[in-house]
């Protein structure tokens, strides 16, 4: 319907009704939903955002005036990490806000010291007790099966510290003693293997449930997770720790349960974090139009290189206690998630 307002016999103004506002409230992404469902749980908000863009609007814009891009002068010699992060947002290959963010844990969302000084010692100190108390459970039987297979491979390849695990006929105590010796060696060597990570996850589960452990995240992490979730950006975790361990860390944090902001978890079952094929698998699992729709944040340059080779956008996290970065590594860096301008 068009309304005509007469100002004088010779002048009038035509008013046309504005289009109905488009709701862009994101649906909830259940932590228990299958991954292939999670990968598509936010299609609607992106469609809504595209519609708003057609009117020169952004979902977060309060007024209805045209959106002006910030006038930022970028100097390729700058070392200002915040400026680099803004440069990423303006000039990334996708040209828009990423559809997905994939986060590393250690050194990115969580201090390295929490993993090395809390989680690893807890698993090491409680492995014997855990195996004794849970020896006949389904989870522990599966853990022992995986450890046996790993130890057999280690013995064949000459891994230092590998100890043969006797058959069940040798008795519970003999089996546990051999397993403890192998696990202690694996933890000391910081091995990124599924058998160790799965057992550690089960040990940590007991610690979290008994309130003997509480997950730690940096102060800027909860706000960023909430902001991305509200804007329709799907957030995933990719860590060498098991998916169970990841859920525990984010489910029992110093800021409460943060899993409501996460859509899925990837671990070493998808592949080694320093191999490009792992990130190819992740991008295919998330169902994005192109790998550059994904932003990966990590503190490890080798992981950044592998992700970039798979086509993902990459930012390196520089946190207190992280290892030094090589000079001229070529990647944007941030000190906190607040520097990421979306």
The annotation places the binding site for substrate at 239-240, 273
Distance, in Å, from the CA atom of 301 to the CA atom of 291, rounded to the nearest integer, reads 19
Binding region: 104, 106, 239-240, 273, 299
SS3 210: coil
Burial class (CB in 10 A: 0-12, 13-18, 19+), 249: buried
How far, CA to CA in Å, does 149 sit from each of 50, 124, 276, 340? 51, 20, 26, 43
Distance, in Å, from the CA atom of 86 to the CA atom of 16, rounded to the nearest integer, reads 38
Tokens for 193?
Answer: 């293997």
Binding region for Mg(2+): 104, 106, 299
The DSSP line for 89-158 is HHH-TTSS--SEEEE-SBTTTB-HHHIIIIIHHHHHHHHHHHHHHHTTSHHHHHHHHHHHHHHHHHHHHT
Please check whether residue 319 is in contact with residue 220, taking contact to mean a CB–CB distance below 8 angstroms.
Answer: no
């Amino acid at each position: 319907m068009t309304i005509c307002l007469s100002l004088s016999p010779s002048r009038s103004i035509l008013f046309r009704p504005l289009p109905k506002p488009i709701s862009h409230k994101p649906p909830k992404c259940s932590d228990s939903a299958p991954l292939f469902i999670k990968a598509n749980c936010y299609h609607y908000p992106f469609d809504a955002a595209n519609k708003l863009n057609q009117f020169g609007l952004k979902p977060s814009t309060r007024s209805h005036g045209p959106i002006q891009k910030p006038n930022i002068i970028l100097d390729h010699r700058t070392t200002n990490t915040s400026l680099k992060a803004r440069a990423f947002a303006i000039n990334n290959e996708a040209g828009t806000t990423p559809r997905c963010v994939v986060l590393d844990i250690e050194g990115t969302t969580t201090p390295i010291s929490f993993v090395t000084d809390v989680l690893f010692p807890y698993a090491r100190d409680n492995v014997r007790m855990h195996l004794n108390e849970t020896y006949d459970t389904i989870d522990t039987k599966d853990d022992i099966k995986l450890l046996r297979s790993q130890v057999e491979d280690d013995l064949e390849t000459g891994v230092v510290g590998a100890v043969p695990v006797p058959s069940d006929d040798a008795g519970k105590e003999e089996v546990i003693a051999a397993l403890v010796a192998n696990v202690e060696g694996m933890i000391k060597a910081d091995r990124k293997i599924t058998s160790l990570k799965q057992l550690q996850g089960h040990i940590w589960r007991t610690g979290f449930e008994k309130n003997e452990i509480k997950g730690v995240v940096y102060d800027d992490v909860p706000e960023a997770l909430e902001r991305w979730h509200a804007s329709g950006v799907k957030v995933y975790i990719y860590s060498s720790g098991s998916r169970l361990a990841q859920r525990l860390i984010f489910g029992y944090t110093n800021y409460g349960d943060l899993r409501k902001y996460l859509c899925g978890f990837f671990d070493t079952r998808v592949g080694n974090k320093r191999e490009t094929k792992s990130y190819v698998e992740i991008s295919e699992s998330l169902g994005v139009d192109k790998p550059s729709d994904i932003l990966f944040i990590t503190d490890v340059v080798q992981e950044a290189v592998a992700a970039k080779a798979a086509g993902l956008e990459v930012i390196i996290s520089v946190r207190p206690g992280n290892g030094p970065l090589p000079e001229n590594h070529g990647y944007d860096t941030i000190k906190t998630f607040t520097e990421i301008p979306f």
